[in-house]
Amino acid sequence: MSAGVVVYDGDCGICEASAGFIRRHIPNVEVMSHREYGISYLSSVWFVTFNGRHEGSIAVATILRLSNKKLLRIAGTFISLPVIRIIARMVYFVIAKNRRRISKLFGLKACAVPQSK
């Protein structure tokens, strides 16, 4: 049984690469694009469980803590620490806002999301 569903932006290269990482390293969650989930736009990753929905860096930390790999669980716990959580939220925001440029920089599929100005 799945621990929850990771919903990612299927139009984003970074998001697709992250989804692949999750599929390979955290098999106890289901992973689907925003379109597969039935929504037309997604501004940050979601982790949906029976208890609700986490978004952005909180979702990332929660997902990592579910890994079978100790190092990933430690990373998820670290991201969840009070001061680190604030920094992680800011870092996530910057990456999400610039994901189109970052995807291109790494040679990934460029996001279909409108560019930030």
Summarised one tens digit per residue, pLDDT across range 73-87 is 999 999 999 999 999
Considering the entire predicted model, what is its pTM?
Answer: 0.87
Q: Is residue 97 part of a domain?
A: yes
Token pair belonging to 91: 């870092």
Does the pLDDT of residue 112 top 60, yes or no?
A: no
Q: Is residue 53 part of a domain?
A: yes
Count of the separate structural domains present in the chain: 1
pLDDT bucket at 103, cuts 50 / 70 / 90: confident
Q: Is residue 114 part of a domain?
A: no
pLDDT at residue 110 in the model: 63
Q: Report DSSP state, residue 106.
A: T
Q: Is residue 113 part of a domain?
A: no
Q: Is residue 110 part of a domain?
A: no
- Which residue did the predictor score with more confidence, 101 or 75? 75
Q: What is the DSSP string of 23-74?
A: HHH-TTSEEEEHHHHT-S--SS-EEEETTEEEEHHHHHHHHHHT-SSHHHHH
Q: Domain limits at 79?
A: 5-105
% of the chain residues with pLDDT over 90:
72
pLDDT bucket at 117, cuts 50 / 70 / 90: very low
Summarised one tens digit per residue, pLDDT across range 18-39 is 999 999 999 999 999 999 999 9
pLDDT bucket at 104, cuts 50 / 70 / 90: confident
Q: Is residue 116 part of a domain?
A: no
Q: Is residue 111 part of a domain?
A: no
In this structure, are residues 4 and 51 in contact, taking their beta carbons and an 8 Å threshold? no
Q: Is residue 66 part of a domain?
A: yes
